[in-house]
Amino acid sequence: MILFAGDPHGYFKHLYPFVRGKEDIALIILGDLQLTTVEELDKLSQYCDLWYIHGNHDSKTVAAFEALWGSKWKNRNLHGRVAEIQGKKIAGLGGVFRGQIWMPPNKPLFLDPIHYCQYCSQEKIWRGGIPLRHRSSIFPADIENLSKETADILICHEAPKPHPSGFTVLNELASQMQIKHLFHGHHHENFDYSELAPQTPFAITNVGFRSLCDEKGNYLLKNIDDRKNKP
């Protein structure tokens, strides 16, 4: 069974009841892991086949970046590739669109990280490449490279249309890749696409804040992001 987890934002305890003591569970986290160490991933992976894509919060701090890109766990990031997981071809697109790089439907300012660095001032260069913040920015090259592949499932951090904050370019990518189901995180409200499904040739599921669903889009857990109401 493949399970898809919405943005955990540094908290993972809610996932254990669904993976502990179960057999053949693959768990895919849809971004914003927001870690400071790899300890949580090491523990969770004892009970499941663990994969993820990164979100915008995963390049907010050096610690969050190092936990994913600076550890063995970088090999479990599905961003920019297609992997076969339990017989399904799953493609990943991590990160978010940012106006300094590309905010569709506007024309992109930079095509890829190398292009960005060619025009970037030297003080903004970080570890020989693009700034830390933009390590989770989507470039046109990310979309172009994936568009040459085919897959059963596409996982994104950003949302496609008809989400009010969605991007048509993701619908176009999904159609080019001939995917059957798109799962995304980022938006915490578990947006309901059911009445809008006829608008797309593939199913869409928004897995919200610390929520969980199966590969058919059935929610196993729905949480509400009430962090702003806590002292």
pLDDT tens digits, one per residue of 141-179: 999 999 999 999 999 999 999 999 999 999 999 999 999
pLDDT of the residue at 231 = 40
Q: How far apart are CA 145 and CA 141, in angstroms?
A: 6
Give the bridge partners for 218, in sequence order. none
Region 125-152: what's the mean pLDDT? 97
Distance CA 11, CA 21 (A): 20
pLDDT in tens, 8-66: 999 999 999 999 999 999 999 999 999 999 999 999 999 999 999 999 999 999 999 99
For domain 2-222, the CATH superfamily is Metallo-dependent phosphatases (3.60.21.10)
Alpha helices in 45-112 (DSSP H): 62-69
Radius of gyration of the chain from its Cα atoms, rounded to whole angstroms: 17
- Do the beta carbons of residue 153 and residue 90 sit within 8 Å? yes
Domain residue spans of the chain: 2-222
Asked if residues 11 and 29 have their Cβ atoms less than 8 Å apart, the reply is: no
pLDDT at 210 over 90: yes
User: Distance of CA 33 to CAs 82, 168, 199, Å?
Assistant: 20, 25, 31
pLDDT at 230 over 60: no
What pLDDT is attached to residue 226?
Answer: 84
3-class state of residue 11 by DSSP: coil
Give the pLDDT of residue 146.
98
pTM of the predicted model, to two decimals?
A: 0.95
Cα torsion angle, 170, 150, 154, 54, sign? negative
Could you tell me where the beta strands, DSSP code E, fall in the chain? Answer: 2-5, 26-29, 49-52, 82-85, 88-93, 153-156, 181-184, 203-206, 212-214, 219-221
